[in-house]
C-alpha cells in the first residue's frame, strides 16, 4: 500500500474502503461554547462536584471517557451552570470543546444524532464530503478522532438516551457533560454516567443573583423584600433573573412593589396544566414581566413563540411581525435587555425554551387564530423566498419554481453566491422545521419551494443527502395534494437524481418513469426531455452507453424541435461525453463544438468550464494533448475558485495528468495524480488509493 497513514491506526478484519490523505491534516481545535453569563453566582457545591469529577478524568488514564449528567427541572439553571463551568475548565482539554443544544424539549423536533455528528466531524477538520453516511459510521469516526485528543463535549438539553449515546467520546481523558430535564435512566445503566442533581437556588445564592442585577444598595435597603422576591420566583434562576432585571430597569419601584405585583399575578392563576405543571412560580413571573411590556414589544415577544425553533435572525422576526428591519432590531435589543431573549451573534438571537413555550402560550391567548396563521404564513413564505433566491445563485441554469412571495431583505442576506451557500447551510435545520410546519398548515407553495431549494444538500456531506430526499419527498406530496403537476414533475426529477447519486438505480428509474408518464399524459415536450435525460444519465452511470446514447439523442431531437437552445447545448455536451467513453472521438469533438457555440456566449463561468472540459476530452482522445491541456488549465482555474466543484476539479486534473504523461512530462503527471488523490480523499472517494498507486507506478518508471 502506498502513502502514509497519519493519526490513529485501527485494525479491522475487513476493509471495504481506505482513504489516504496526501498530507497530514492540520489539527483543528474547536471552542464552541456560547457566552457564559457574566454574573454567575452560587452553585458552590455543584462546581466542587464537577471539579472533582474533572480531576478524576485526569487521574484515570486507563479508563474510558467520563460522562456527567446535570439533571433538574426546567428553568433551574442547568445550561447556565454547564456553560459557565465548561468555560472555566476547557483549558484542561487541549483537544477542543464541542457544544450543541440538542433541542430535546421544545416546539421543534429534537436534533437527530446524524445531524449533530456531521457538524462535530466538520468542526474537527473532516472535509464535508469525507463525512460518512449513517450514524454508526459517523460515530466510529468521531470516536476515532477524539481518541487522539482530550476533549470536552457539552450536550445541552438532551431529550433521550438514544439522542445522546452516539455523541459520547469513548477514550480516556475526555469528558462529556449532558444536561436534561429527563432522568436518562437507560443511559445511566448502559454508560455508567455520574449524575449531579441541579435544584432551585438556595436563598443566599438567589439573593446574590438579585444583588448582581439590581445592585448592592437597593438589595441592602430592602432585605426582607428581596427574600420575598426569591420566594415568589420559587428559587428558579430564570425567574429570579427576569424579575430582578425588571426591578433594575424601574428605579422608581421598590422591590416590595414588584413582589406585590407578582403575587397579584399568582392569585390570578386558576391552575397550571400541561408543560407548566409545577412551574406556577415561574409562570407568574413571566406573566408579570410580559404584562408590563408595551404593545409592540409584547406582540413581537409572543410571535417569537411561533418560530419553529428557539434561535432566529432579525430578518425572520421582521417577517414574522410584519416590521421593518430597524424596528425589529430595536425591539429585540430591548427584549434582550429584559432577559426575555438572548443575543448570540450579529443580528441573531435565541430564547430559553421555557420562555419560548411561554411566548407561544401568550400568542395562543392574545392573538386571534387568523392573526397567528397570518404571522406563520408570512414567516414560512419569507424563508421560502430567501431559500429560492439562494438556490438561484447556486444553480442559475437549473429549473426552479415561482417564489411564494418576494422576501424582504434578500439582497442583504444573499447578495452573492458565497453568502447564499452560507445562509442555506446556517439555516439548514430551520428550513427543515419550517417545511414541516408548512406541511401541517397546507402551505403547499412553501413546501414545494423548500423541497426544490434543498438540492444544495447534495453538495454537502453524504449525511445531508437523506435530509434532501425527505425535503424533496415532502415537496412531491405537497405538489400532488395541491394538484400542482408542474411542481410534481420537477420534484420527481430532482428525487430521481438524488436516488441516482446514492446508487439507488431502481428508485431513480421509478421517478424518471413517473416524469415520462406525466409527459405522455400532458404532451409537454420539456417534461419528456427531462425524463429522457434522466434515463440517459442513469444508463451512463450503469455503464450501458449505447442505451444512454439513444436516450440523449431522443432528448436532443425534442430540444431542436421546440427551439430550446439551452437544453440542446446541454444534451450535445452529454452526447459528447458518451461518444468519448465509446472511443468515438471525432463524433465527441463534433458534439462538443456544437455545444460550445451556445456555452461560449452564455457568460456563466461554470457553464463555460463544462464546455471546455468536453472539448478537452475530445481533443485528448484525438491525440492533440497540448490543446487539451490548455483547455484543462482554464477549467481547473475555474473549479478551484468554487469549493463545491472539487469533484469536477479532480476529474479535470486526472484527465490532464494523462496528457502530461503522454507528452513525456511524467513528473508533472505524478504531481497532478497525487493532488487528485488528495482531493478524492477529502471527498471520501475510494479511488484515492488507486490514484496514489498509479502515481507511484509512474514515478518508478
193 and 236 assigned to the same domain? no
- Is 535 within a domain? no
183 and 318 assigned to the same domain? no
Query: How large is the average pLDDT for residues 389-415?
Result: 82
Bridge partners, 175 (sequence order): 66, 152
Q: For 624-677, what is the HEC assignment?
A: CHHHHHHHHHHHHHHHHCCHHHHHHHHHHHHHHHHHHHHCCCHHHHHHHHHHHH
What's the domain range around 319?
A: 295-367
61 and 184 assigned to the same domain? yes
- Is 281 within a domain? yes
- Is 488 within a domain? no
189 and 51 assigned to the same domain? yes
> Cα(359)–Cα(332) distance, rounded to whole angstroms?
14
Per-residue pLDDT band at 2 (split at 50, 70, 90): very low
> Cα(318)–Cα(309) distance, rounded to whole angstroms?
16
322 and 239 assigned to the same domain? no
302 and 263 assigned to the same domain? no
Q: Cβ contacts of residue 20 below 8 Å, gap of 6+?
A: 1, 2, 3, 4, 5, 677, 681, 688, 689, 692
The residue out of 309, 338, 367 marking a domain boundary is 367
Q: Round the average pLDDT of the chain to a whole number and report it.
A: 85
308 and 208 assigned to the same domain? no
- Is 530 within a domain? no
100 and 219 assigned to the same domain? no
- Is 574 within a domain? no
The residue out of 271, 291, 311 marking a domain boundary is 291
Tell me the helix, strand and coil percentages in the chain, rounded to 5: 65, 5, 30
- Is 419 within a domain? no
275 and 327 assigned to the same domain? no
pLDDT digits (tens, 9 = 90+) for 601-639: 876 888 899 999 999 999 999 999 999 999 999 999 998
110 and 171 assigned to the same domain? yes
**Residue 189: predicted pLDDT:** 55
The larger pLDDT score, comparing residue 687 to residue 596, is at 596
pLDDT digits (tens, 9 = 90+) for 215-264: 888 888 888 988 888 888 878 888 888 888 888 887 887 888 888 888 87
Determine if the pTM surpasses 0.85.
Answer: no
Query: How large is the average pLDDT for residues 182-199?
Result: 74
**Residue 241: predicted pLDDT:** 85
308 and 224 assigned to the same domain? no
Query: In this prediction, what percent of the chain has a pLDDT beyond 70?
Result: 90
3-state secondary structure of 182: coil
Residue 158 sits in a domain whose CATH number is 3.40.50.300
The larger pLDDT score, comparing residue 583 to residue 251, is at 583
> Cα(41)–Cα(47) distance, rounded to whole angstroms?
11
**Residue 192: predicted pLDDT:** 64
pLDDT digits (tens, 9 = 90+) for 43-58: 888 999 999 988 888 7
**Residue 545: predicted pLDDT:** 95
Number of domains in the chain: 4
Per-residue pLDDT band at 191 (split at 50, 70, 90): low
Per-residue pLDDT band at 373 (split at 50, 70, 90): very high
pLDDT digits (tens, 9 = 90+) for 507-557: 999 999 999 999 999 999 999 999 999 999 999 999 999 999 999 999 999
The residue out of 242, 268, 291 marking a domain boundary is 291
Amino acid at each position: 500500500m502506498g502513502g502514509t497513514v497519519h493519526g490513529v491506526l485501527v485494525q479491522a478484519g475487513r476493509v471495504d474502503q481506505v482513504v489516504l490523505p496526501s498530507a497530514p491534516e492540520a489539527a483543528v481545535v474547536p471552542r464552541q461554547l456560547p457566552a457564559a453569563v457574566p454574573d454567575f453566582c452560587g452553585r458552590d457545591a455543584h462546581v466542587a462536584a464537577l471539579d472533582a469529577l474533572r480531576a478524576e478524568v485526569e487521574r484515570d488514564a486507563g479508563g474510558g471517557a467520563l460522562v456527567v449528567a446535570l439533571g433538574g427541572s426546567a428553568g433551574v439553571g442547568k445550561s447556565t451552570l454547564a456553560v459557565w463551568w465548561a468555560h472555566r475548565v476547557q483549558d484542561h482539554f487541549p483537544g477542543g470543546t464541542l457544544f450543541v443544544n440538542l433541542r430535546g424539549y421544545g416546539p421543534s423536533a429534537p436534533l437527530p444524532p446524524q445531524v449533530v455528528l456531521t457538524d462535530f466531524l466538520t468542526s474537527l477538520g473532516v472535509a464535508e464530503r469525507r463525512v460518512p453516511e449513517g450514524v454508526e459510521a459517523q460515530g466510529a469516526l468521531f470516536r476515532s478522532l477524539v481518541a487522539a485528543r482530550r476533549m470536552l463535549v457539552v450536550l445541552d438539553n438532551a431529550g433521550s438516551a438514544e439522542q445522546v449515546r452516539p455523541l459520547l467520546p469513548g477514550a480516556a481523558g475526555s469528558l462529556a457533560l449532558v444536561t436534561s430535564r429527563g432522568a436518562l435512566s437507560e443511559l445511566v445503566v448502559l454508560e455508567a454516567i455520574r449524575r449531579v442533581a441541579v435544584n432551585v437556588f438556595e436563598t443566599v445564592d438567589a439573593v446574590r443573583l438579585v444583588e448582581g442585577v439590581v445592585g448592592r444598595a437597593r438589595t441592602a435597603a430592602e432585605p426582607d423584600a428581596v427574600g420575598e422576591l426569591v420566594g415568589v420566583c420559587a428559587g428558579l434562576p430564570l425567574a429570579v433573573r427576569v424579575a430582578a432585571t425588571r426591578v433594575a430597569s424601574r428605579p422608581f419601584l421598590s422591590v416590595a412593589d414588584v413582589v406585590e405585583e407578582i403575587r397579584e399575578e399568582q392569585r390570578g392563576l386558576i391552575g397550571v396544566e400541561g408543560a407548566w405543571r409545577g412551574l406556577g412560580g415561574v409562570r407568574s413571573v413571566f406573566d408579570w414581566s410580559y404584562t408590563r411590556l408595551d404593545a409592540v414589544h409584547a406582540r413581537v415577544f409572543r410571535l417569537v413563540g411561533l418560530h419553529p425553533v428557539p434561535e432566529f435572525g432579525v430578518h425572520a422576526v421582521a417577517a414574522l411581525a410584519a416590521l421593518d428591519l430597524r424596528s425589529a432590531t430595536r425591539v429585540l435589543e430591548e427584549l434582550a435587555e429584559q432577559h426575555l431573549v438572548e443575543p448570540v451573534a450579529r443580528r441573531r438571537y435565541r430564547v430559553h425554551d421555557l420562555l419560548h413555550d411561554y411566548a407561544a402560550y401568550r400568542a395562543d391567548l392574545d392573538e386571534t387564530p387568523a392573526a397567528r396563521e397570518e404571522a406563520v404564513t408570512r414567516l414560512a413564505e419569507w424563508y421560502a423566498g430567501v431559500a429560492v433566491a439562494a438556490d438561484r445563485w447556486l444553480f442559475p441554469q437549473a429549473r426552479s419554481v415561482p417564489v411564494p412571495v418576494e422576501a424582504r431583505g434578500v439582497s442583504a442576506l444573499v447578495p452573492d453566491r458565497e453568502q447564499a451557500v452560507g445562509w442555506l447551510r446556517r439555516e439548514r435545520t430551520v428550513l427543515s422545521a419550517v417545511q414541516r410546519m408548512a406541511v401541517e398548515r397546507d402551505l403547499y407553495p412553501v413546501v414545494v419551494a423548500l423541497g426544490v431549494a434543498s438540492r444544495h444538500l447534495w453538495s454537502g456531506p453524504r449525511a445531508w443527502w437523506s435530509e434532501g430526499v425527505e425535503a424533496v419527498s415532502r415537496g412531491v406530496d405537497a405538489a400532488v395534494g395541491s394538484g400542482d403537476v408542474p411542481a410534481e414533475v420537477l420534484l420527481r426529477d430532482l428525487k430521481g437524481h438524488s436516488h441516482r447519486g446514492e446508487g439507488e438505480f431502481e428508485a431513480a428509474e421509478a421517478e424518471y418513469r413517473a416524469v415520462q408518464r406525466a409527459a405522455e399524459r400532458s404532451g409537454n415536450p420539456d417534461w419528456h426531455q427531462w425524463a429522457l435525460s434522466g434515463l440517459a444519465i442513469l444508463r451512463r452511470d450503469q455503464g450501458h452507453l449505447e442505451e444512454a446514447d439513444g436516450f440523449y439523442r431522443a432528448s436532443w431531437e425534442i430540444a431542436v424541435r421546440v427551439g430550446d437552445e439551452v437544453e440542446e447545448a446541454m444534451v450535445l455536451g452529454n452526447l459528447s461525453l458518451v461518444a468519448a467513453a465509446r472511443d468515438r472521438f471525432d463524433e465527441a469533438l463534433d458534439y462538443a463544438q456544437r455545444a460550445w457555440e451556445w456555452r461560449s456566449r452564455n457568460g456563466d463561468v461554470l457553464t463555460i468550464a463544462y464546455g471546455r472540459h468536453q472539448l478537452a476530452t475530445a481533443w485528448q482522445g484525438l491525440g492533440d494533448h497540448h490543446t487539451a491541456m490548455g483547455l484543462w488549465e482554464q477549467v481547473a482555474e475555474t473549479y478551484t475558485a468554487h469549493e463545491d466543484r472539487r469533484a469536477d476539479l479532480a476529474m479535470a486534473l486526472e484527465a490532464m495528468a494523462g496528457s502530461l504523461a503522454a507528452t513525456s512530462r511524467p513528473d508533472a503527471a505524478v504531481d497532478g495524480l497525487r493532488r487528485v488523490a488528495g482531493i478524492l480523499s477529502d471527498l471520501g472517494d475510494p479511488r484515492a488509493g488507486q490514484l496514489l498507486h498509479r502515481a507511484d507506478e509512474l514515478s518508478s518508471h
